[in-house]
A and B are shown apart, each in its own frame.
Chain A
Amino acid sequence: MTEPTGLLARRNGQSSSANLADVLERVLDKGVVIAGDIKINLLDVELLTIKLRLLVASVHTAKELGIDWWEQDATLSTRARRDGLADENRRLRERLGELEGMRAGQR
């Protein structure tokens, strides 16, 4: 079982380590909806997630059907896609690190 350090003892310091998916599903999909002055439909944003999910679902379904020959073939596309995602992830983390560094520096 995995738990964040100091679970249930202190809440402080937890927010920076929370899983992005956990944070996104809460701030985009939960929380009180009161009309702001800026009309923005977050359903439009969920489209982004849904697009991601569809992409992922189609790969997943293919796997379930036994169509995974591309997994064995290093020259084929999924690996490239996976590497692309890994790259993007790394860039995001670096950027986030910078932002957090900046924020810490401002305190």
Chain B
Amino acid sequence: MNEPFGRASYAYAVARSFDPAQLAGVRGVDGAEVRLVRYRDLVAVVSPVPLTEFDEAALRTKLEWLPWLEATARAHHAVVDAVATSSVTLPLRLATVYRGDERVTEVLRQGYRRFRAALDRLAGRVELGVKVYTDPQAMAPAAGPSASSPGRDYLRRRRAQHRAHDDAWQRAAASAERVDATLAGLAVDSRRRPPQRQQLSGVRGENVLNAAYLVDAGRTDEFAAVARCLDAEAPGTRIELTGPWAPYSFAPPDDEEPA
């Protein structure tokens, strides 16, 4: 059935079929209640959105408005996260919108084999995020003896700062390679993405590794313990572990044609 009154269906995730009671109380974008659209043994998790607010022009404007982008991204993620506690989950890209549940069913039908294959690969696995940062403390240069002139003093201080910064960065970069190689050995798959800018993440220290690992659910404790050891072994750097996440980073590539 197409949505009446200019409403559209916002799709969050494709998953193996599960009991919708497990999503009771879960709200999506704009606080709307989520529901399941079924096709064979698959479901798509959707919620109604006003078409006028999700047409191309409206979306283009709103996606550039950070408060809206944040609220929508968090709502999207909250639903994906809730689905992932209930079933094997393929998260969809933000703002995947259809003109009604009938269209969603059609998409499930067309992509059935691709979705099934991807879900089979992700079953029993979670995504863990690992970031390696330089330690800002290690980047502060030691105070040297004062030189004869303020200008020379200044230049000396600058050089010392640069050396301290370079050293800290190189230590962290070497540590990042070791961390990635070790953790990738415990994972089924791994992805590296561009380091996050401090100004976006608000985290202290410079991000030198930003990676995601697909890990068997039974090995996550081991993974975390090894990450902790690596953290302790590498002074001057800091390792941050996040997750478990729904497997956002291990979705099938765009170029795979639906069968």
Binding site for B on A (CB under 8 A): 1-4, 7-8, 11-12, 14-16, 18-34, 36-40, 42, 44-45, 48-49, 52-53, 56-57, 64, 66, 85, 88-89, 91-92, 95-96, 99, 102-103, 106-107
Given contacts A27-B93, A39-B56, A40-B63, contact A52 B74 (CB under 8 A): no
Chain A nearest CB from B46 CB (Å) reads: 11
A12-B179 Cα distance, complex, nearest whole Å: 28
Chain B nearest CB from A70 CB (Å) reads: 15
Q: Quick one: CB contact mask for B28-71 with A, threshold 8 Å, 1 for yes? A: 00010000000000000000000000111001100110110111
**7 more A-B contacts (CB under 8 A) besides A25-B193, A26-B248?**
A21-B202, A26-B245, A27-B80, A29-B193, A33-B251, A89-B202, A95-B71
Q: Tell me if A's interface is mostly helix, strand, loop or mixed.
A: helix
User: Are B67 and A36 interface neighbours, CB within 8 A?
Assistant: no
Chain B nearest CB from A103 CB (Å) reads: 6
List B residues 166-205 near A (Cβ within 8 Å): 193, 196-203
- Size range of the chain B interface in the assembly: 35 or more
Question: Is B91 at the interface (CB under 8 A from chain A)?
Answer: yes
Chain A nearest CB from B196 CB (Å) reads: 5
Q: Which residue of B lies closest to A41 (CB)?
A: B60
A42-B221 Cα distance, complex, nearest whole Å: 35
| Residue numbers in A under 8 Å from B67 (CB-CB) | 91-92, 95
Can you name 30 A-B residue pairings with CB atoms under 8 Å? Answer: A1-B228, A1-B238, A1-B241, A7-B224, A8-B224, A12-B82, A20-B200, A21-B202, A23-B73, A26-B248, A27-B76, A27-B80, A28-B94, A30-B251, A31-B92, A32-B14, A32-B90, A32-B118, A32-B251, A33-B92, A33-B93, A33-B251, A34-B93, A36-B98, A38-B56, A40-B59, A40-B60, A42-B95, A56-B200, A92-B67
